[in-house]
Amino acid sequence: MILQLKRLFERIGDRQDLDCIIPLEELREYSGCKSIITPISLKGRIQNRAGMVSLDYSCKLTVRHLCDRCLDEFDREYRLEFEHILVKDESSVEDENAFLCPGGSLDLNELAVSDFLAEMPTKVLCREDCKGLCPVCGKNLNLGCCDCGADTIGKE
């Protein structure tokens, strides 16, 4: 989704509300987003304050993760909030929080995807106290003890 913000960039005091959904099909174009299983719903506001254009938004989505310890699949809903300064040309991208909008057009998908990817943990657990797999028989110990006896080792 591309937003034309040319006028907003020019008019101090202007603002625009955002309330949109990025469909799954559009997310499929980005590698790294394969794990997203719901559309991204996004609400926010873009404002031109004294010539400085800022965007803040929150988004909601569900991700299918693979637990790093027990290798089980699980879904987790995220609500994330972000803030950016929007700039029209590259020379003004000093702030790492700045997002480039060439000619005043904002690629909202690109922005939401890069924010999402930056926010995702590299390792996830299905739950904090996930017991993982038995190192001997491979059974998922969240589902109960295994019979191989390995789970009693080291518990004394």
Which spans of this chain sit near Zn ion (rule: CB under 5 A)? 67, 69-70, 126, 130, 134, 136-137, 146, 148, 150
Contacts of 59 (CB under 8 A, 6+ apart): 40, 41, 42, 43, 79, 80, 81, 82, 112, 115, 116
What minimum distance in Å lies between the beta carbon of 134 and Zn ion? 3
What minimum distance in Å lies between the beta carbon of 133 and Zn ion? 8
Task: Tell me whether residue 111 or residue 126 sits nearer to Zn ion (CB atom).
Answer: 126
Task: Tell me whether residue 95 or residue 147 sits nearer to Zn ion (CB atom).
Answer: 147
Task: Tell me whether residue 60 or residue 139 sits nearer to Zn ion (CB atom).
Answer: 139
Region for residue 123 given its phi and psi (left: phi exceeds 0; alpha: psi -120 to 50; beta: otherwise) = beta
Rounded Cα gap, residues 105 and 121, in angstroms: 30
What minimum distance in Å lies between the beta carbon of 117 and Zn ion? 22
What minimum distance in Å lies between the beta carbon of 130 and Zn ion? 3
Q: Give backbone dihedrals phi and psi of 102, rounded to 5 degrees, phi first.
A: -60, 125
